[in-house]
Amino acid sequence: MGVGQKIKMLRKSKGLTQSDLAKKLDVVSTAVSAWERDANKPMLDKLTIMADLFDVPISYFFDTEALPLNVIPVQPNFIKIPILGTIACGDPILAEENHDGYRYELADTLPKGNLFYLKAKGDSMEPTVPNGSYVLIREQPEVEYGEIAAVLVNGDTEMTLKRVKKQGDTILLMPDNPEHEPYIITEENPAHIIGKAVRYTQDL
């Protein structure tokens, strides 16, 4: 089942018209129509809103086999996990709307939960997360102090990978590279945590 079919099925399950869903997503109804026909793909920020609206994990939209968890058996003890695009480890960049292939992992080495990979770009998290590495993300709305998270910023239109810290009532997205400045979260400058960074891998 493709992304468009899933959006259509979820929309109808809530008794919504294409116009109703378009209003909730702040897009024109023709955009929803194009998504459902797989003539176009929604951006990640719109998928995030739909995941909340329909109470499904965001990884559901990228699970081609429609399994309850976003992992697909390929042979005994192995699964494949989707790569959802490139994440900024410097200045935030526009989030890619589609997955970009898969990575194969031993099932018993993975944490429980909905998982996906993001590719790091930039040096702001070095030496902890090298530029070009694949970062395994476990989908969750919050992380503990000092943990690294994948975060939507700039009106949920861009992604960045940063360490989450607090100073008083202020939440900071901190780079590990001291040459980069922290990203300060405020009411006027909100952010949305997608998930926790579990580990990274690199291709030689």
CATH number, residue 178? 2.10.109.10
Same domain, 23 and 90: no
pLDDT digits (tens, 9 = 90+) for 149-160: 999 887 767 778
Same domain, 135 and 187: yes
Same domain, 36 and 77: no
Same domain, 131 and 187: yes
Same domain, 140 and 91: yes
Instruction: Answer whether residue 63 is part of any domain.
Output: no
Check if 24 is active-site.
no
- Average pLDDT over the chain reads 81
13: containing domain: 3-42
Question: What pLDDT band is residue 198 in, cutting at 50, 70 and 90?
Answer: very high
Same domain, 116 and 158: yes
In this structure, which amino acid lies at residue 178? P
CA distance 89 to 132: 10
81 beta partners:
103
pLDDT digits (tens, 9 = 90+) for 81-103: 888 765 556 544 334 444 677 88
pLDDT at 106 > cutoff 80: no
Same domain, 16 and 82: no
Among the listed residues 27, 35, 49, the one whose alpha carbon sits nearest the alpha carbon of residue 156: 49
pLDDT at 128 > cutoff 70: yes
Same domain, 36 and 93: no
6, 124, 133, 196: the catalytic one is 124
Strand boundaries in the chain, DSSP class E: 72-75, 78-88, 93-94, 102-106, 115-121, 134-139, 148-153, 158-167, 170-174, 183-185, 192-201
Same domain, 28 and 100: no
Instruction: Answer whether residue 49 is part of any domain.
Output: no
Same domain, 113 and 157: yes
Global pTM value: 0.59
Tally of structural domains, the chain: 2
CA distance 44 to 47: 5
Check if 41 is active-site.
no
pLDDT digits (tens, 9 = 90+) for 8-44: 999 998 899 999 999 999 999 999 999 999 888 888 7
**Tokens representing residue 175 in the block:** 């780079």
Q: Strand 148-153 to strand 72-75: parallel, antiparallel, or no bridges (unpaired)?
A: unpaired
The pLDDT score that the predictor gives to residue 99 is 63
Virtual CA dihedral for 82, 139, 173, 54, nearest 10 degrees? 100
Same domain, 99 and 197: yes
Return the residue matching tokens 């790091």: 120
Instruction: Answer whether residue 178 is part of any domain.
Output: yes
Same domain, 83 and 167: yes
